[in-house]
Structure 1
């Protein structure tokens, strides 16, 4: 695993808004990326440009034609990034809203049977699955995750899945621990027993940290929130298989069939996603000479993963003469200090300091982190560990070793 060279690091950071300062706080280091990543400057420009266009899609005029072309281009860019085998993309209110909609369609549209998911999941998929399973009077099967590693395994799914399973949900990466799950292996385990199950994946936390390869997963739905992947708030992106689309959909009477979108969508949302793909294409081009866009996207994913791995290792195990988080007395590292499935995120707790006090002390020094409490968002992870709260330090590939050094220096002072 290698980090970016200084020149490339500077080029990367120059492409994002508010890298070194907050418009409300002033100079700061941004380690709250799991709450929402930094936004590309190109996304800011694109949002403003499309917000000023009064025309609607679907009309017979030059502006409407241009809007439709923009959406078509964005969907092609989504295919380059997600690498599906068929299916379709559409946008919605948010990643959570889209996850609920996909799960609702799957649970309510499939025959009598069961729904399966895991205890590691974010409420976006967990709440959707349990709610609609109850509405459909389908039993919900809960697969336990491993508290020590913060992951759920294919073997755990295999022990719980039954032939009656009609719908399954999988979390790609945890926003609490940063630990990724093996989606392809879990999907294989599910289909070994329930081959016709509709499988839906929450990729919201994973999207900014590595490549997505739907073709290799054998799934039916994948959802992300673009504001966590360098775009902006206000929309989510979903991919659905043809098999999921063939189920009964909520649609306008006598309207187009197989249509997931209801009402006019924001063309600017689609356009900003093209900006994200263009950026990743550029970054991949710094690591690959291939003329193929997908190959460059894959190169970007490997480079991002390598840089973030180097940063989290430094954060955990020290940098120069600065001790890492794993060296602090009375520390608990969620997922363990040596976890190869970690993606750009370290969550920890100290016996000697309250999590909220640590976050406040870091914020006073211009370092933005976040408290995860044992509430409806994170209690499934924290409560089994006996933790009421923990500190989440989440980074992305535009973060630097200098920022990690400043964080470790601050932690040394806080714990002195």
Structure 2
């Protein structure tokens, strides 16, 4: 449980938690666009940016850098609860999804490529691009507009024995709903056991737990700037069987290498900071005696705290009405949806979403407009909406901040 006292300590670990360096004091409810950054990650970035040495040399600095990378990879493997395979960094989460999907599609022939309509274009565009280049049959599983997610049953109805590559979105950055990853993966493998399954975990990563042993997939990608680190890199886990397809590699280089060129040691080190933070938080809320156990305890506490915040935003606090209490307000995915992960997306009759976001911002409450464009049109267009207001929270947000949001909404509505 995250107590008020613990929340104060949590907030002290993040940069710009209650004030924007450009705007001044503000409530940060734009976490789906990029979470707050750990102060430790900021300090680590600066420290490693100053080191001139490269990895792979025979000198003390290079040896130290290689040890730091190896230690960070080991920590990340525990955070993912990965059953073998390897972790590596790339340009961004989107770049890594394109690369993993390209490797899977190019390494298989014939058959079906399977995705879903709920997916972010990071995976959906990659599948579409390579399906076109290799003349492959790309099919989309329809998501449930009412629930804001795609179910395992929908995948089960669509998967065929010749499905070669499948993609899954773990959590939608528009609806805020988490998919039942293990159940969807099991539904695919029940029919196509050798299918390569690649997951976009970018939105999910900050909101609870990643368990790749339970998921039984071949690739999982996160964007560290959405899970308390910084911009400029992505992190991927890949299974050995995906690596065996032969990703692009330097001629004469290591057979199982996914990385190109000299990587930023600071990227690995700042992701280690993220794992260390989950480890620390788990120690505050639980009693596990292993790092993975503490990570699991942290995930449970994060999920519970964010559920409390979402319930208050939707149902109200004291004499302040919640979003569900206003006539003409529609909450995407429904007001009572157990799949919700720290995010409430809504639209209101008689008020444009842009006007609502502007009014909130004028009062120091940072939210975001999602438009029916190439990022969010797959969710909003079927609902007949041009835009919606996305309010995205993380576990360092407080009930006082939700109260502030609802007080401004009361004036707007």
Task: Write out aligned runs for 1:295-310 (5 A).
Answer: 295-310=293-308
Task: Write out aligned runs for 1:86-105 (5 A).
Answer: 86-105=84-103
1:265 positional shift: 0.6
Pairing partner for 2:12 from 7, 10, 14: 14
Q: Is structure 2 residue 210 aligned with structure 1 residue 250?
A: no
Pairing partner for 2:276 from 251, 275, 278: 278
2:184 alignment counterpart: 186
Moved over 2 A (4+): none
**TM-score, length basis structure 1:** 0.99
Q: What are the superposed Cα offsets for residues 195-225 of structure 1, whole Å, 9 maximum, x if unpaired? A: 1000000000000000100000110000000
Pairing partner for 1:316 from 301, 314, 339: 314
2:374 alignment counterpart: 376
Counterpart CA distance in 2 for 1:310 and 1:413 is 23
1:111 positional shift: 2.3
Matched-pair contact (CA < 8 Å) for 2:165–2:195: yes
2:263 alignment counterpart: 265
**TM-score, length basis structure 2:** 0.99
Q: What are the superposed Cα offsets for residues 34-55 of structure 1, whole Å, 9 maximum, x if unpaired? A: 0000000000000000000000
Matched-pair contact (CA < 8 Å) for 2:170–2:203: yes
Counterpart CA distance in 1 for 2:102 and 2:253 is 21
Q: For 2:346, what is the secondary structure of its paired residue?
A: strand
2:289 alignment counterpart: 291
CA RMSD for the aligned pairs?
0.6
1:28 alignment counterpart: 26
1:81 positional shift: 0.5
1:108 alignment counterpart: 106
Pairing partner for 2:56 from 49, 52, 58: 58
1:352 positional shift: 1.3
2:38 alignment counterpart: 40
1:112 positional shift: 1.6
Aligned residues: 413
Counterpart CA distance in 1 for 2:3 and 2:219 is 37
Counterpart CA distance in 2 for 1:346 and 1:289 is 32
Task: Write out aligned runs for 1:126-145 (5 A).
Answer: 126-145=124-143
Q: For 1:208, what is the secondary structure of its paired residue?
A: helix
Counterpart CA distance in 2 for 1:290 and 1:13 is 23
1:321 positional shift: 0.5
Counterpart CA distance in 1 for 2:11 and 2:303 is 17
Counterpart CA distance in 1 for 2:408 and 2:147 is 27
Counterpart CA distance in 2 for 1:165 and 1:133 is 13
- Which consecutive unaligned segments of at least 5 residues does structure 2 have? none
Matched-pair contact (CA < 8 Å) for 2:288–2:297: no
1:116 positional shift: 0.1
Task: Write out aligned runs for 1:376-395 (5 A).
Answer: 376-395=374-393
1:163 positional shift: 1.1
Counterpart CA distance in 2 for 1:159 and 1:90 is 34
2:211 alignment counterpart: 213
Pairing partner for 1:407 from 392, 401, 405: 405
Q: For 1:387, what is the secondary structure of its paired residue?
A: coil
1:248 positional shift: 2.1
Counterpart CA distance in 2 for 1:150 and 1:78 is 30
Counterpart CA distance in 2 for 1:249 and 1:306 is 39
